[in-house]
Structure 1
Amino acid sequence: MKNQRIFPAIILLGFGLFFFLQQNQYSFFQGFDTWPTFLIIVGIAYLFQGYVAKDYEAILPGVILTGFGLHFHIIKYLEVWPNSNGTFILIIALGFLLRYQKVRAGLFQGILFLVLAILLLFYNKIVDWLGILESGAGDFWRFWPVVLVVYGLYLLIKKR
């Protein structure tokens, strides 16, 4: 990592503030003294490392950790927030797309995860809209995860 001071500094600041607020039992901190807050702190440290120290490879783990931590907090307070696998895939897609802005690599993965997230988040609406359950194409929808596995294996085995 470039500029090694930023990441540990943010970790120490975040954890110190976390334990200080927990120890003094501030009422506004109630509900946030859980493990998702640790994900957010570490994720923010990675984001600072990525954007402030210009270590752009840290953007992806920063977005993923911060996003997952926020997700686990938000689902407790907002009923409209989707609690499905698509939400996690969407956060990963956002990470790849934000990283792409800086390093110009990972656009394909970002778009692939974005499409997958949209399919997972709106699966029932897409199926209803296309009327797939009545047609023979319903078999594809049942086995589309196999396509992902096969393509992933292809990428692992393919020689560059």
Structure 2
Amino acid sequence: MRWTFVAMIMLEIGLYFLLKNFDLFFNMNMNTLPFFFIMFGIAFMVQAKAEKDDQAIVPAVLLLGLGIHFLWGKSFPFWPDDLTAMIWIIALAFIIRSAQTKSGFVQGFILLLIGGFLYYFPSALTSFIQKSVSNWQAFWPILFVIAGLYLLFFRKK
């Protein structure tokens, strides 16, 4: 059994409560969920490196990235919005994992390009979503009609 992850979580929780008891560093939003995302991300990253566990890289990067984004992202004026940042974090996770496993680079690169498009051209996406929603609002009942006809006439018992 791999004890690295459990050991890191116990170490981090111990340090967290030790710092909390002595009132050290608790003006830095350490009582928030993103801080715990960062703690778990560090634990996954240590497990990935210590145990040579390539599958732990993706949750490590995702948790670290989401924690950093939600904890400190609004502090920087150039930081992307939530959707773009999440796409970039997922892309980074795929690209880092591809360095270890030699697979997943193309998916990460495509997500990186999509994130770049959303970062530099956000109005194009907004216009597309508004048109899609207006079309969807007009024609969504057709899906129920088609599903009902399929169940009534074509479904075998």
Q: Identify the TM-score tier after normalising by the shorter chain.
A: 0.7 to 0.9
- Return 5+ residue gaps in structure 1 as ranges: 128-137, 144-160
> How far does residue 140 in structure 1 lie from its aligned partner after superposition?
9.9
Q: Partners of 2:131 and 2:62 in 1: how far apart?
A: 28
Structure 2 counterpart of 1:108, which letter? V
Q: Partners of 2:131 and 2:100 in 1: how far apart?
A: 37
Give the match for residue 39 of structure 1: 37
Number of equivalences: 129
Give the match for residue 87 of structure 1: 85
After the TM superposition, which segments of 4 or more aligned residues of structure 1 sit over 4 Å from their partners?
138-143
What secondary structure, in the 3-state scheme, does the structure 2 residue paired with 1:54 have?
coil
Distance 1:122 1:6, change over 3 A: same
Distance 1:37 1:140, change over 3 A: closer
> How far does residue 76 in structure 1 lie from its aligned partner after superposition?
4.2
> How far does residue 123 in structure 1 lie from its aligned partner after superposition?
1.6
Give the match for residue 61 of structure 1: 59
> How far does residue 69 in structure 1 lie from its aligned partner after superposition?
0.3
1:47-69 Cα shifts (integer Å, max 9, x gaps)? 11112210011101100001100
Q: Partners of 1:8 and 1:104 in 2: how far apart?
A: 28
- Return 5+ residue gaps in structure 2 as ranges: 133-157
RMSD: 2.2
> How far does residue 109 in structure 1 lie from its aligned partner after superposition?
1.5
Structure 2 counterpart of 1:70, which letter? I
Give the match for residue 29 of structure 1: 26
What secondary structure, in the 3-state scheme, does the structure 2 residue paired with 1:33 have?
coil
Structure 1 counterpart of 2:26, which letter? F
Structure 2 counterpart of 1:94, which letter? L
Identity of aligned residues (%): 34
Give the match for residue 7 of structure 1: 5
Give the match for residue 110 of structure 2: 112
TM-score, normalized by length of structure 1?
0.71
After TM superposition, the structure 1 stretch with the greater mean CA deviation from structure 2, 82-91 or 57-66, is 82-91
> How far does residue 121 in structure 1 lie from its aligned partner after superposition?
1.3
1:94-132 Cα shifts (integer Å, max 9, x gaps)? 00000000011111221121111111111248x5xxxxx
